[in-house]
Structure 1
Amino acid sequence: MKYIRFHNLYGYEKPLFKKKVTTPKILSYLKATLRPKRFRHTLGVAYTAANLAAVHNADEDKAFLAGLLHDCAKFYETEEQITLCEKAGIPLTETERLNPALIHGKLGAFYAKTKYQVDDEEILSAIRYHTTGHPDMTALEKIIYLADYIEPGRSMDCKPHSLQKVRTACFQNLDEGMRFALENGISYLREQNQPIDTISLETYEWYQKGITL
């Protein structure tokens, strides 16, 4: 599979992988189950995550796999996601029930472990928290959260920070990238008068304090 070309999107002319990562069985299954647009997004996140890992001296293989599986439960309809979580014994907050877009991270981590036989807790945690984040995140968790936000297929009118500003920050300092992305996300939810999950707010406040890990 060809690497995605970033066209200097992040300040680099080409991907920085130290080696090529291949997961043909997972790729084939995801391509068959996800909608084409979602599958393209999935590839964008996986390759962006591996690039971020290369820049920040993190594990590229783990980043690629976590990026590949971060939306593995996204193809389920909203009510089905809730039902599947209940059957699997996955606890849901009231905010998650009101805003089901938050659920697929938890369900995705469950399926990554049970369906795709991923037993690395660092990868599973990165999948679980790629939508909400949490205070005191690991480098891999930040990488997947940010790769989901900045992958090349994204095109958003963000504020207070432009998408390009967030992209550039992510490759310079993961914590600064998190702060910018979270400020944009919380700002959008407040403008739209949408409920904000407690853990998302705690993550936002963590990075507002300027804590550098």
Structure 2
Amino acid sequence: MELEHIRKSLEKTLSEKRYRHILGVEEVCYDLAVIYGCDTLKARTAGLLHDCAKHLSDEELISECRKFNLHITEAEIKAPYLLHAKVGAAYAKEFYGITDEEILNAIISHTTGRPAMSELEKIVYVADFIEPYRNPILHLDKARKIAYNDDLDEAVMFISGRILEYLKSINAFIDPLTIETYNYYVNLCQSK
């Protein structure tokens, strides 16, 4: 599917703020794909579609998981908003004709990350955090510097660490997969 068609469709579905966010993620995905030698079309597509189900309520996300026969983990039962990633991949396939497993996996893992992500998954995960329209948050400039100048694995480690710090600081639920992601990339970066 053509990117412009995806953009127009999402503009009708998403809030103005969310739409601006996905355009920012698409832009950063393109940049990082060039830097790290990844397919730029796949990166842009995954960036555009990563939040295509973010507008759904918790109840709607659960309903869509049932409709698409998607497994819901214990963590997702406690925090249904996490399901927008799985439902987003289902929507990408169903409504936008995306069949490339690499793109679908990048959409699925963009929220919590996962150990041993592909380059494309890491790009979308990082781009979601550092996109240019994001409200200024602590450590954002450092995350951008690492992502653009250093090492994608280090960027994933840094960002997942900051996400864990933030979630702990507000006493929020933490999906164990986020912890696994952080630990995996700490070990990977230390072994380099």
TM range (shorter): over 0.9
The 5-angstrom pairing of residues 120-139 of structure 1 reads 120-139=100-119
**Counterpart code for 1:167:** R
- Give the secondary-structure state (helix, strand or coil) at the position aligned to 2:126: helix
Q: 2:144 is matched with which residue: 147, 162, 167?
A: 167
- Paired with 1:60 and 1:50, the residues of 2 have a C-alpha distance of 5
- Paired with 1:182 and 1:156, the residues of 2 have a C-alpha distance of 17
The question of whether the paired residues in 1 share the 8 Å contact of 2:28 and 2:131 is answered with: yes
Deviation at residue 157 of structure 1 after TM alignment: 2.8
The question of whether the paired residues in 1 share the 8 Å contact of 2:61 and 2:81 is answered with: no
Deviation at residue 92 of structure 1 after TM alignment: 1.1
Q: 2:77 is matched with which residue: 93, 97, 104?
A: 97
**Counterpart code for 2:23:** L
Cα distance change on mapping 1:157 and 1:25 into 2, 3 Å: closer
Matched with 2:185 is 207
- Give the secondary-structure state (helix, strand or coil) at the position aligned to 1:209: helix
* Unpaired stretches in structure 2, ≥5 consecutive residues: none
* Unpaired stretches in structure 1, ≥5 consecutive residues: 1-21
Matched with 1:180 is 158
Residues 35-59 of structure 1: per-residue CA shift (max 9 Å, x gap): 1110000100001100110111111
Greater per-residue helix proportion? 2
Aligned length in residues: 189
The question of whether the paired residues in 1 share the 8 Å contact of 2:43 and 2:123 is answered with: yes
Matched with 1:28 is 8
| TM-score of the two chains, using structure 2 as the length reference | 0.94
- Paired with 2:4 and 2:117, the residues of 1 have a C-alpha distance of 29
Deviation at residue 62 of structure 1 after TM alignment: 0.5
Task: Name whichever of 177-186 and 97-106 sits farther off.
Answer: 97-106
Deviation at residue 200 of structure 1 after TM alignment: 1.3
- Paired with 1:79 and 1:209, the residues of 2 have a C-alpha distance of 37
Residues 154-208 of structure 1: per-residue CA shift (max 9 Å, x gap): 12332xxx11000010112101111110110011111222221121111111012
Q: 1:61 is matched with which residue: 41, 48, 57?
A: 41
- Paired with 2:24 and 2:141, the residues of 1 have a C-alpha distance of 16
The question of whether the paired residues in 1 share the 8 Å contact of 2:57 and 2:81 is answered with: no
**Counterpart code for 2:117:** M
| TM-score of the two chains, using structure 1 as the length reference | 0.85
Deviation at residue 94 of structure 1 after TM alignment: 2.1
- Paired with 2:167 and 2:72, the residues of 1 have a C-alpha distance of 20
Matched with 1:84 is 64
- Greater than 6 Å deviation, 4+ residue runs: none
- Give the secondary-structure state (helix, strand or coil) at the position aligned to 2:96: coil
